[in-house]
Structure 1
Amino acid sequence: MSAVDSPVKPAPGGSPEPSPKKRRGLKVVLIALAVLLVGTASAGAIYAYTINRSVSQNIQRADTLPTDGTGGTTTGQPTVTETGTLDYVLLGSDSRNTDPGDGRSDSIMVVHLDKNRDKATIVSFPRDMYVDIPGYGMNKINAAYSFGGAKLTVETLQNLLGYKMDHVVLIDFQGFIALTKDLGGVTVKNKTAFTSHGYSYPKGNITISGQKALWFVRERHALPGGDLDRAANQRNVIKAIVAKGLSVDNVADPVKFTAFLSNVAKNITVDQTLTDADIRNTALSLRLDASDIELLQAPLAGFETVNGQDVDVVDKTKLAELAKALRTDTVDTYLKKYPKG
């Protein structure tokens, strides 16, 4: 890579992180975790078997975890936690194909479950983050998926954070947004009026479904904050899907709820080590609701232009603190120091 062509510019408003309220929204692939890990427990014993079978029959598995033969990462010296925490890498794209060269991942997140299973932290990594991709050098983080598929993306995250991930979940992005149609539409609060692909999105509360919902979460060029604003729209839509999909009325209807879970599972691929028993056991151990979930963005220091491309600059000091908080299960301490994420 060539030298940086322009100096670092401060992030909009002094910080690229979302507001405290938006940190509690759920970004796109969180619905996979929420439904698969919480859904079976919340549905009740009456039709739990039907739900488990529905998920098991529809979910797919693939070889997506990097390994050195001993369960560790392929490069670096990550620290393996011994606290009983769980960390999932969630990758969202228009395809669940895990092969290298199959496009770039649309969203990249790490979901951390604390050892008490009463708190979850979801850290999103902007796709333009400028990081070291093992074997390829500095590039945007979403290029890792194009170079080496899910395995290289996970390896990149492990090297960036300094510890090993437990599981990987790949999401068919378009399929997940289609759930808005299954639910009869979802209502979200749109902070910026814009148009995209023939659809109009006025400011305020709007109800969207199907293709209109898909372009709402895909559009970034018409938004003042670009990709960061798009990520906020993604979180708002998935929060609405989760709220409606896991509502009392929906869960109380066995046919409706089972169909919902089946459609979710059809759009998910998990790593080969994540068994049905793991999913059920984790579900039974959880004691959290939406208010116990913190949504953070990996810290950025600003923006640069490299080789004519705009990239997001990593705040290395703050990211090291966040990584340590995740690794040592002390996220509460991190949030006290950085209440805005």
Structure 2
Amino acid sequence: MQEYRVPTENKTDKVRRGLWVAFIVSASISIFLAFSSRKNPTYLPVESSPVFVDVTIPATNGVEPTLDNSRLLQTNADRPGFKALDLDQTIYILLTGLDKWDKNSESGAGLTDTIIVAFLDKSGGKAGLISIPRDTWVEVPDYGPYKINQAYMLGEAYGYPGGGPGILMETAGNLLDIEIDYYAQVDFQAFVVLVDAVDGVVVDVQEEIQVYPNANTKDVMQVLSPGEHLLPGDLALGYVRTRDTPEGDFGRTKRQQQLLIGLQEKIFSYEILPVLIPRMPGLYRDLTSNVETNLTLNQIITLAWVVKDINPQSIQTHVIKEPTVTADINDRNQYILVPDLDQIRKIWKDMQNISATPIPEPTQEITLEEYLAEENANLAVLNATSSPGLAGVTAEFLEEKGFQIGEVGNSNKFKDQTFIYDYSGKEHTVRALLSAMGYTENRLFYRSDPSVTADIVIVLGADWVQENPMDELE
């Protein structure tokens, strides 16, 4: 009997893993939604100038998707391009929150109020992230000294190669003495939409704080008293944006990480996927113009699976603050934070060299049958080949593995490849199904269609006839 082990993480472990993956997860969901039914042009990951490709996907009853998981979610050709994922090397990712409400009057570009650099070392089983304050005084390539959150605006305004993301990747990389490989940029509006999509996020407020749901107009102020609060998207954004506290920008950075932890815990909770999937069409509409990255969907999925297996004690976090930065006023009468480059780089290097103690083997075990029974997923198997009876034989094979088959039939089109469509977020059933059929996540697609009664739809392609784990078709 196949057995599944249940992780025995404590709250500290969740915090460590959550800080690294929360932003990636948030961006991943946004990117996934946009890829799932994007009507605007996207760019192919090629070394030359990108070309426009229409990847519109209509809502259907399990027909194959037209999207290509290798496309980049970018609507501007002047962006950092595709880069192959080499997990034998340490991966560096720039994670930014773009404030389009705070636009520069000349360029129209927003300011990056959240700047985080993450690293992932698969071979060493380590990951971490470091938060860079927005007022950090840095050398911006070609333009000289500026606050780091102004770098994006300069890149957008004056045509720097790669635009705002490109110049910010180089600027943050120079600060830490590394070359950053990827970026994931989420606008604050996308943040609001994501928090509302999971029905709010719980935060533990440490001290009374005044929050403006609309930080642009500041017309309705609310006071959050100490204790736990369930914050909707607008209040959550106000909570992480305000600097009207004794700690100023450093306090805001801490609250950003706190909110990311809460968002991560909500997204990773067992019951949230069935809630998110029916909301995907509306989420797509709200998010497509607010998320950007040079990571493909396949790369994001790969990174997520790698992080999932990392020892939480090996996930390091740090906020750059005094004494590694010193507050000052520059000759432009601006408040700035002057960094101690040697100390910051030493901290960053040490974060990547820390090793964790081994995690004890968990003792609680749950069988695959128990997981399948708990989710009670209803599967449909459709034959999209010229081989008669293929769906029936496959259904019998899957029933012997413990899956519930509610529908067996034929697809309306011939398919070369087999695809699996999840309409309900049955996580354990999907994973077990992929394993039983010998497939990886690149065959899995999430869909939202009220007319589909099955939880999971399997469309069998010609490749299933040629190669499969069933004795009946050998």
Q: Does 1:157 align with 2:180?
A: no
CA RMSD of aligned residues (A): 4.1
- Aligned AA (1:217): V
Structure 2 CA distance for aligned equivalents of residues 183 and 144 of structure 1? 32
1:122 to 126, 129, 144: 129
1:302 to 326, 344, 363: 326
User: Who is 1:202 aligned against?
Assistant: 225
Structure 1 CA distance for aligned equivalents of residues 240 and 258 of structure 2? 9
Structure number with bigger Rg = 2
User: Who is 2:235 aligned against?
Assistant: 212
Q: Is the 8 A contact 2:87 2:121 kept in 1?
A: no
Q: Is the 8 A contact 1:162 1:323 kept in 2?
A: no
Describe how 1:125-136 pairs up with structure 2 within 5 A: 125-136=132-143
Q: Is the 8 A contact 2:207 2:226 kept in 1?
A: yes
Structure 2 CA distance for aligned equivalents of residues 137 and 91 of structure 1? 21
Structure 2 CA distance for aligned equivalents of residues 90 and 241 of structure 1? 16
Q: CA 1:306–1:23 in 2, change beyond 3 Å: closer, same or farther?
A: farther
Q: Which runs of 4+ in 1 moved over 4 A?
A: 20-23, 35-40, 52-59, 256-265, 289-292
1:179 to 180, 194, 197: 194
TM-score w.r.t. structure 2 length?
A: 0.52
Q: Is the 8 A contact 2:73 2:296 kept in 1?
A: no
Q: CA 1:281–1:184 in 2, change beyond 3 Å: closer, same or farther?
A: closer
- Aligned AA (1:135): D
Describe how 1:1-341 pairs up with structure 2 within 5 A: 24=16, 31-35=22-26, 60-61=73-74, 62=76, 63-65=78-80, 83-95=88-100, 101-116=108-123, 118-148=125-155, 149-197=164-212, 198-221=221-244, 223-251=245-273, 255=277, 266=288, 267-271=290-294, 274-286=295-307, 287-288=309-310, 292-298=314-320, 300-307=324-331, 308-325=333-350, 329-332=352-355
Q: CA 1:320–1:238 in 2, change beyond 3 Å: closer, same or farther?
A: closer
Q: CA 1:35–1:216 in 2, change beyond 3 Å: closer, same or farther?
A: closer
Which SS does the other structure have where 1:187 is aligned?
Answer: strand
Q: Is the 8 A contact 2:14 2:312 kept in 1?
A: no
- Aligned AA (1:310): Y
Please report how far the alpha carbon of residue 305 of structure 1 lies from its aligned counterpart in structure 2 after TM superposition: 1.6
Which SS does the other structure have where 1:116 is aligned?
Answer: coil
Please report how far the alpha carbon of residue 145 of structure 1 lies from its aligned counterpart in structure 2 after TM superposition: 1.1
- Aligned AA (1:121): G
Q: CA 1:57–1:205 in 2, change beyond 3 Å: closer, same or farther?
A: farther
Q: CA 1:53–1:33 in 2, change beyond 3 Å: closer, same or farther?
A: farther
TM-score w.r.t. structure 1 length?
A: 0.69
Q: How many residues align?
A: 286
Structure 1 CA distance for aligned equivalents of residues 315 and 301 of structure 2? 20
User: Who is 1:336 aligned against?
Assistant: none
- Aligned AA (1:296): H
Structure 1 CA distance for aligned equivalents of residues 249 and 17 of structure 2? 16
**Unpaired segments ≥5 residues, structure 2:** 1-11, 32-61, 156-163, 213-220, 357-474
Q: Is the 8 A contact 1:56 1:276 kept in 2?
A: yes
Please report how far the alpha carbon of residue 284 of structure 1 lies from its aligned counterpart in structure 2 after TM superposition: 3.7
- Aligned AA (1:185): G
Q: Is the 8 A contact 1:130 1:139 kept in 2?
A: yes
**Unpaired segments ≥5 residues, structure 1:** 1-19, 41-48, 72-80, 334-341
Structure 1 CA distance for aligned equivalents of residues 183 and 127 of structure 2? 16
